[in-house]
A and B are shown apart, each in its own frame.
Chain A
């Protein structure tokens, strides 16, 4: 038996004149190697191969103080992706360009 989405599928969003699609690459997680890590989202121009945007969010949730604690699982909404995309556009991501992915650390104010 399984729960959750059965197939990987991109969600469409429209941000500042750009038709984009995003997929969740990583949920929040904890490891002894990397401590708490936030979600990672891939964003690209819808339907064409262009420079991808990789959004790395800060960890959103309660951190364990000593004992292991399961990481919180925030709901990833189009709104928090849109605000992070706007911040990335301001930081220099050009959705129409080609080349290696543009990695962007999402600031706290754009992650909520």
Chain B
């Protein structure tokens, strides 16, 4: 079994390559029906007339896909004690059906707890769409056990 990553294994500057994640039209519709039922995420004609000029995934769906890539690429490999929220989430470019996404999660801040055997590790997460444009940026702190 691979050893888990601890706080000491996550210095500022370490970058994790996460993904890929393939986006389908069916999943865009399914997520939108359940959680973000705006016409431009549910209907192709409405999407063409929208600001984004075509069907695109809900921003919250992009966050969920990002979480899946982050979980597979970092969280499930770390001695993780949970999250404390997300400091930023910016939708920069649309994510379209057929896109294959990838993610870079870079450690940008670390802080060891003075009283508990854990530390806070903040990741700058960048999601790239099929044309390598940054589709989402977010700042995500996690709590990691110390070695």
Partner of B11, one of A7, A29, A32: A7
Query: Digit string of A12-52 for contact with B (CB within 8 Å is 1, else 0)?
Result: 00000000000111110101110000001000000000000
* A9 at the B interface (CB under 8 A): yes
B90 and A24 within 8 A (CB): no
Q: How far is the CB of B28 from chain A (nearest CB, A)?
A: 24
* A98 at the B interface (CB under 8 A): no
What is the bound-complex CA distance between A5 and B139, given in angstroms? 20
What is the bound-complex CA distance between A1 and B19, given in angstroms? 10
| Chain A hits for B8, CB < 8 A | 7-8
B13 and A24 within 8 A (CB): yes
B14 and A29 within 8 A (CB): no
| Chain B hits for A32, CB < 8 A | 88
B92 and A68 within 8 A (CB): yes
B16 and A25 within 8 A (CB): no
A31 and B139 within 8 A (CB): yes
22 contacts across the A-B interface (CB closer than 8 A) = A1-B17, A2-B14, A2-B15, A3-B14, A4-B11, A4-B15, A5-B11, A5-B13, A6-B11, A7-B9, A7-B11, A8-B7, A23-B11, A24-B12, A25-B110, A25-B111, A26-B110, A27-B12, A27-B109, A31-B87, A70-B134, A70-B137
B137 and A29 within 8 A (CB): no
Residue of B nearest to A24 (CB): B12
- Beyond A9-B11, A24-B12, A26-B12, is A2–B17 a contact (Cβ under 8 Å)? yes
| Chain A hits for B137, CB < 8 A | 68, 70
Residue of A nearest to B108 (CB): A27
Interface residues of A in 43-85 (CB under 8 A from B): 68, 70
| Chain A hits for B92, CB < 8 A | 68
Candidate in B10, B12, B92, B107 with the most chain A CB atoms within 10 angstroms: B12
| Chain B hits for A68, CB < 8 A | 90, 92, 137
A29 and B15 within 8 A (CB): no
What is the bound-complex CA distance between A29 and B11, given in angstroms? 15
Query: Digit string of B44-69 for contact with A (CB within 8 Å is 1, else 0)?
Result: 00000000000000000000000000
Residue of B nearest to A73 (CB): B13
